[in-house]
Amino acid sequence: MAWPLWLSSATFLMMLFTTDAITTALGPPPAVMYKNGIGLEQGGVLPGGVIYGRLLVSSNDPRVTNGVQGPVYRTVCDAHDFSNNEAETMCTLLGFGFGRKYYGSDATGRPGTTGRPVSHLICHNETSTHRRSLMGADDREGSSYSRQQGHSRTLTELSAYVNLPKSSGFVCTIDTVSTCPAIAPLAAVQCSNKPLPPEPSPPPSSPTAPPPKSSYLRMYGGNGYYDGTRLERNICNKTLNEDCRYWGRVEVQVAGAGGKPVWAPLCAPKSTLRMDIEQLVCLQMYDWDPVADRLRGVLSGYSSTPISIPSGKFVSKAGNFNPAQYTRWATVIGGNITTANKIQDLQLKVTAARCSTGAMLAVHCSMLVAD
Ligand SMILES: *[C@@H]1O[C@H](CO)[C@@H](O)[C@H](O)[C@H]1NC(C)=O
Ligand SMILES: *[C@@H]1O[C@H](CO)[C@@H](O)[C@H](O)[C@H]1NC(C)=O
Ligand SMILES: *[C@@H]1O[C@H](CO)[C@@H](O)[C@H](O)[C@H]1NC(C)=O
């Protein structure tokens, strides 16, 4: 009997010895493959030999392995933040030439999963020129768990490395803090060595799955060395006190022209509101539920000297913060912080004019963990 190469011998044995598997073997075969610290489970083969499956990423980080000798494989939350780009990278790591997201609930659903899914999978190509530049060489150590036992840890330190071989050319991190909303699907990919057929019309989005609160807010810098999310060079750079890298700026989704959603920088508010807002930003950013997540630690937000909105002819230079690219700016002017779940639940003043204070809110999130 010819088994596809990607069907591991472990699966083969499972299929021989578990009646459950024998019954399900009548349907699509359970595709299992592992390569470069990435895995696929709960999948199969689509027409044209396209392999699909629920994504697994491995890590040796004790916060992922729960202290067990690693690596341990975990599923990945897709709270509207797992993109086709990352799916393609995952397929590259699995040894395929092409790849994108897979939306079928047979792979994105939770049945048969164990452990908490990890969130915010971010990868960068280490050989590309767009490398993290502001952060020092000690960033990797900065994320090491052992140095941080028993203290308040910044969320930078709470992200963990995916266990990839150096030769893969990629560095990927996962966030071990965020809660994956129960309604969010898990990340799944489809991979092939031939170009994939055109994507069928927009995948149906489940009406029972409203986006998590984190999808209405984004943060640049302040919580990581991630290329894509660090502060722009004209806001935070080596000529300044490097402390600036610990403070992030925030954008909130608001209604723009014609009601179309746009991202608006969050302005520094009146000082009386600042503490409430910095806390809410962090709870929203990490989909934190203060009640359900209380056993995991205490997530706190802090703010600092607001970030001045840069001006001058260099704002349009690549890598710089350019105020002209924003049509809306948002300032919190009131609301009830006790009942608010997200910044948008507060009273927001949205203007086409830039922050009246000339500055944006600077936030840092951190978590106190009980050891
Ligand atoms: C990474 O980036 C470099 C330079 O941009 C490129 O030559 C290389 O093909 C990329 N590697 C992968 C695996 O995409
Ligand atoms: C560094 O940041 C400061 C403060 O925002 C800014 O004035 C300066 O132009 C920046 N330098 C570079 C090279 O972008
Ligand atoms: C905020 O909402 C809570 C709960 O509904 C209420 O008890 C409290 O009085 C409100 N606070 C303000 C300032 O309106």
Shortest-distance ligand to the CA of residue 338: 3
CA 139 – CA 171 distance, rounded (Å): 13
Per-residue confidence (pLDDT) for residue 277, from 0 to 100: 94
Shortest-distance ligand to the CA of residue 88: 1
Ligand 2 atom nearest to CA at 320: 14
User: For the chain, what percent of residues have pLDDT higher than 90?
Assistant: 37
Distance 280 CA to ligand 3 centre (A): 16
Measuring from atom 14 of ligand 2, which residue has the nearest CA? Answer: 234
Mean pLDDT, the chain, whole residue set: 78
Which residue would you say has higher pLDDT here, 350 or 159?
350
Measuring from atom 9 of ligand 2, which residue has the nearest CA? Answer: 234
CB contact set of 342 (below 8 Å; sequence gap of 6+)? 213, 216, 217, 280, 284
Ligand 1 atom nearest to CA at 92: 13
Distance 171 CA to ligand 1 centre (A): 12
Shortest-distance ligand to the CA of residue 334: 3
CB contact set of 29 (below 8 Å; sequence gap of 6+)? 4, 7, 44, 45
Per-residue confidence (pLDDT) for residue 211, from 0 to 100: 77
User: What is the CA 201 to chain-centroid distance, rounded?
Assistant: 25
Angle in degrees, CA 215, 219, 221, rounded to 5 = 150
Q: How many CB atoms lie within 10 A of CB 8?
A: 15
Determine which helix (DSSP H) or strand (DSSP E) holds 178, and give its type and residue range. none
What does the pLDDT look like over 201-213, one tens digit per residue? Answer: 656 665 566 778 8
Residue 67 predicted with pLDDT over 90:
no
Q: Which of 123-137, 307-321, 348-362 is predicted with the least confidence, judged by mean pLDDT?
A: 123-137
Q: Is the whole model's pTM more than 0.75, yes or no?
A: no
Residue 28 predicted with pLDDT over 50:
no
Instruction: Say if ligand 3 is within 6 A of residue 336 CB.
Output: yes
Residue 274 predicted with pLDDT over 60:
yes
Measuring from atom 7 of ligand 2, which residue has the nearest CA? Answer: 234
Measuring from atom 7 of ligand 3, which residue has the nearest CA? Answer: 338
Q: Which residues line ligand 1 (CB under 6 A)?
A: 92, 125, 127-128, 169
Residue 226 predicted with pLDDT over 50:
no
Distance 227 CA to ligand 1 centre (A): 15
Shortest-distance ligand to the CA of residue 36: 1
Instruction: Say if ligand 3 is within 6 A of residue 338 CB.
Output: yes
Helices of type H across the chain: 9-17, 19-24, 62-65, 84-93, 105-108, 139-142, 271-285
What does the pLDDT look like over 111-166, one tens digit per residue? Answer: 877 778 998 888 887 765 443 333 332 333 333 333 333 345 556 566 788 999 98
Q: Map tokens 């489940």 to a residue.
A: 206
Strands (E), 65-142: 72-75, 98-101, 119-125
Which residue would you say has higher pLDDT here, 144 or 316?
316
Per-residue confidence (pLDDT) for residue 201, from 0 to 100: 64
